[in-house]
Structures are given as structure tokens and as C-alpha cells.
Structure 1
Amino acid sequence: MTNIENDTPVEDGQAEDIAPEAAVDAQDETAKLTEQIAALQQDVLYARAETQNVRRRAEKEVADAHAYASTKFARDILSVADNLGRALAALTDEQREDAAIKPLITGLEATERELLGVFERNGITRIAAIGLPLDPNQHQAMLEIPSDKAPGTIVQEMQAGYMMKDRLLRPAMVGVAKKPD
């Protein structure tokens, strides 16, 4: 009989000892390769999951960029809306009836309506304030006012707040009720 690995003659008693060792070595090698395959499969699964997460994150960032690209411009234009509203609020009833400036007032009101329409089309909404409880995510308390309303209820709005879709553009600056002294 000869040894399979190196073609050397082997006595009958030795052949039985070598065959089981070769089988054990083959089983060990198979087990190691099976472990390596399992580890590589796991690595591939993790890599696929990470790639999918990166793709989803990128898609979300692109969608957010499209949805909120005009945020800075929207914040800047809010002061224009505030000033236009203040100008219209400052007009007295006598001024509104004056035939000489009535066309100017009509133009200002039309401009305000158009501006509010543009806000609406772009997902910019005014934050409700008066009569609601103070929400620190949407309102900024500027002062406390003695009132018969429940403490923490908004009783005055100094400056309107706005949201763009689900993001805060500017908090509403408000006066909050407190117990009278």
C-alpha cells in the first residue's frame, strides 16, 4: 500500500492511522470554510443594508432640499408681510373713507392678499396663538399680563409666527396670561 500524499510505501497498520487523520483535517477545513462563507454572507448583508440606508438618506435629503430650499427667503419676506399688515392696521376709518387715498388702500389690501396667497401656495402658514395655551415649540412668551384667563393662555400677539410645512420659520411673539395680583 502507498501513502496518497507522497506515494511512499506504507505498512498495513499505518494506513488505518493516516486515513482518519486526513478525514479529520478535511472536516476541519470544511468547517473553517463554512464559517468563512457565513461571515462573508453576513458582511454582504450588512453592506447591502448600509447601501440601502445611504440611498434612503440621500433621497430624503434631496426631498428636503426641494421642500425647504426657500426657507431663508421665506424668513426674509416675513418682515415685508409684517410691515404691510402694520401699514393697513394703522389706517383710521377716516383715512379709509378718504377718496384721495382709497385707491392706495385698495392696492395695499390687494398686495397683502396676493402675498398671503403666495405664502399658502408655498406651504407657509400662520401659527395660531390667541386663546391657546403657550407652546414653546411655536410661541415665544415676551411678557405676562394679569388676566382672568387661565395662566399660560396667550392673550396678546405682538408678532405673528409662521411655519413652512412642518418647520418653524419664526415663533409667534406673545403675551401670556397670569393670575391678577
Structure 2
Amino acid sequence: MTDMETPENDAPESPDTGEDTAQVPDLAAELAARDEEIAALKDKAMRAAAELENTRRRLEREKADASSYAMTGFARDLLAVADNLRRALEALPTAGVDGVKGGIEATERELIAIFARHGISRIDADGQKLDPNRHQAMLEVPSADVAPGTVVATLQAGWTIKDRLLRPAMVSVAKAAE
């Protein structure tokens, strides 16, 4: 028997029953549904990967912030020591206590140097425009010398750690003279 005489080729053609044409649209619809499902799963996978990457970046940023600002509470506690050293210097009489004054000044300089090594710095407020993000206005003083809203005196120094506020400067602010 040759290839042309195989039983499959010898079979008479069956009359068209309509089953083959009904299966073609069903297969096309099923294929379209599968394509939509594949597209949806790809989208879902891409969104999950993006969310994972965003979470990783956020955690890295939080970790960096935690290490940079871990000593914030300790630094706030030490600000009281710096304030008390400054008050002690201001309360000393001008004569007769040069040794004590020199010792307190040296201690204050050392504390300020330690603060600087750890990114803690004093806010310079005198003569600047009032910034509610860095200054806390405690009182208003009538003044014809400076523009209203300008800091005329610092009552308590403000401090920052790197780029974050540790404590706002407590200041007196000029207001228009009456």
C-alpha cells in the first residue's frame, strides 16, 4: 500500500454536520479568554514586582533614617546640659571667677564640638525673619529699628540634628511700634 492508499485517505468524506464550524468559534473565544487571563496575570506580576521594589526602597530609607537619627532622644536630653552651661556663664559675675568661667566655657566648647561631630547644630535666629518651622515666638516687642516679624532676641537656642529640628528656638519677635 502506498502513502496515497492509506485507510485515512480512502475514507469517504463525511457530510458537513456543523460540528467543526461550531468548535472554531468556541476555540477562538477560549483563546481570547486565555489571552486576557495571561495579560491580567502579567499585569498582576508586574505590579507585585513594583510593589516589592517600592517596599525595599522604603525599608532602606527607613533604615538609613533610623541610623542617622537614632540618637535624637539622647541629643534632646543633652540640650538641657548645653542650656545650663550657657546660663551658668551668663550668671557669673564679671570679676573674680576667671578660672571657673574659663572651665565652664571650655566645657561648653567641648560639648558644642561633640554636637557638631554628630550633626547637631545651633539655630541662628537673631536678625532673621520668623520661621514657624524653626522658631517659636514667645513674645512680641515693639520696635522701630527692625521690620515686624524679625527675631530680635533668642530666649532659648534652637537645635537641629542633620536636617531635622530637635528643638525650635524660643524667640522674641519685633512688631510695629505704636
Distance 1:110 1:128 in 2: 21
1:78 aligns with 2:79: yes
Q: What corresponds to 2:8 in structure 1? A: none
Listed as ranges, the matches of 1:91-130 within 5 Å are 91-95=92-96, 101-130=97-126
Percent of residue pairs bearing the same amino acid type:
53
TM-score (norm 2): 0.88
Q: For 1:13, which of 12, 16, 37 is the aligned residue?
A: 16
2:34 aligned residue: 33
Tell me the amino acid that sits aligned with residue 127 of structure 1: I
Correspondence 1:171 to 2:168:
yes
Secondary structure of the residue that 2:58 maps to in structure 1?
A: helix
Amino acid at match of 1:123: G
Q: 5+ residue gaps in structure 1?
A: 1-9, 96-100
Following the alignment from structure 2 to structure 1, what is the Cα–Cα distance between the partners of residues 59 and 16? 69
Q: 82-91 vs 114-123, which deviates more?
A: 82-91
Q: What is the distance in 1 between the residues matched to 2:23 and 2:30?
A: 10
The alpha carbon displacement at 1:61 in A equals: 0.9
How many pairs align? 166
Alignment partner, residue 153 of structure 1: 150
Q: Which letter maps to 2:16? A: G
What is the CA-CA distance between 1:166 and the residue it aligns to?
1.2
TM value normalised by structure 1 = 0.87
CA RMSD of aligned residues (A): 1.6
Q: Distance in 2 between matches of 1:21 and 1:127?
A: 82
Q: Deviations over 1:80-105 (max 9, x none)?
A: 0001011112223313xxxxx43332
Q: Which runs of 4+ in 1 moved over 4 A?
A: none
Instruction: Name the CA distance, whole Å, in 2 between partners of 1:102 and 1:144.
Output: 36
CA shift, 1:11, in A, is: 5.1
The answer to whether 1:162 aligns with 2:159 is yes
- Give 1:45's aligned residue: 46
Secondary structure of 1:114 counterpart: helix
